[in-house]
């Protein structure tokens, strides 16, 4: 069974109540529980932190023994050389995802330190962005 993990960065613990016009009104755990049931053929885990170093620790921990990482580094996407370097350092392929279309938003969201070392990037499909990444790892 493939081992996948969704790693979520800062403020994504507030999904459902944070700017619902941009990020939707479902909580991440509601989405995650439904998605786990929908894809019983994979082992799907979830980790969230608001702390940059904890995200790097988790990438290092899973990055040599999982089959795929689905990473929404949230605001750190646009600022963190450290998370970008961790994505480069590990062996597990990483798909970068975003709920919103970051290119349709402020210019500071157009830069990503992750994309150049990601297997691919999926953005702008709401929470479905995560699901498309799962499907890509399954195929
Ligand atoms: C986000 C986009 C980021 O620019 C933002 O800082 C987030 C969420 C998204 O999923 O759309 O926190 O990564």
Residue 129 has pLDDT above 90, yes or no: yes
Q: Which domains does the chain have, with CATH numbers?
A: 2-138 (3.40.50.9100)
Enumerate residues lining ligand 1, CB below 6 A.
11, 72, 74-75, 77, 98-100, 102, 109
Q: Count CA atoms closer than 13 A to 42's CA, side-chain side.
A: 24
Task: Tell me the C-alpha distance between 36 and 108, whole Å.
Answer: 33
Best CA proximity match to 63, nearest among 33, 20, 28, 94: 94
Atom of ligand 1 nearest to the CA of 73: 13
What's the whole-model pTM score? 0.97
Atom of ligand 1 nearest to the CA of 105: 4
Please give the distance, rounded to the nearest whole angstrom, from the Cα atom of residue 55 to the centre of ligand 1. Answer: 15
**What is the structure's pLDDT at 60?**
98
**What is the structure's pLDDT at 19?**
86
Active site residues: 23, 98
């Amino acid at each position: 069974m493939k081992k996948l993990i969704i790693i979520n960065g800062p403020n994504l613990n507030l999904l459902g109540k944070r700017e619902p016009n941009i990020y939707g009104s479902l909580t991440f755990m509601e989405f995650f529980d439904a998605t786990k049931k929908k894809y019983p053929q994979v082992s799907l885990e979830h980790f969230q932190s608001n702390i940059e170093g904890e995200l790097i620790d988790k990438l290092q921990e899973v990055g040599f023994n999982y089959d795929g990482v689905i990473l929404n580094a949230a605001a750190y996407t646009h600022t963190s050389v450290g998370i970008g370097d961790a994505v480069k350092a590990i062996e597990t392929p990483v798909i970068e995802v975003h709920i919103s279309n970051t290119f349709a938003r402020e210019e500071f969201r157009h830069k990503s330190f992750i994309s150049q070392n990601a297997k691919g990037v999926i953005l702008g499909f709401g929470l479905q962005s995560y699901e498309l990444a799962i499907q890509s790892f399954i195929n």
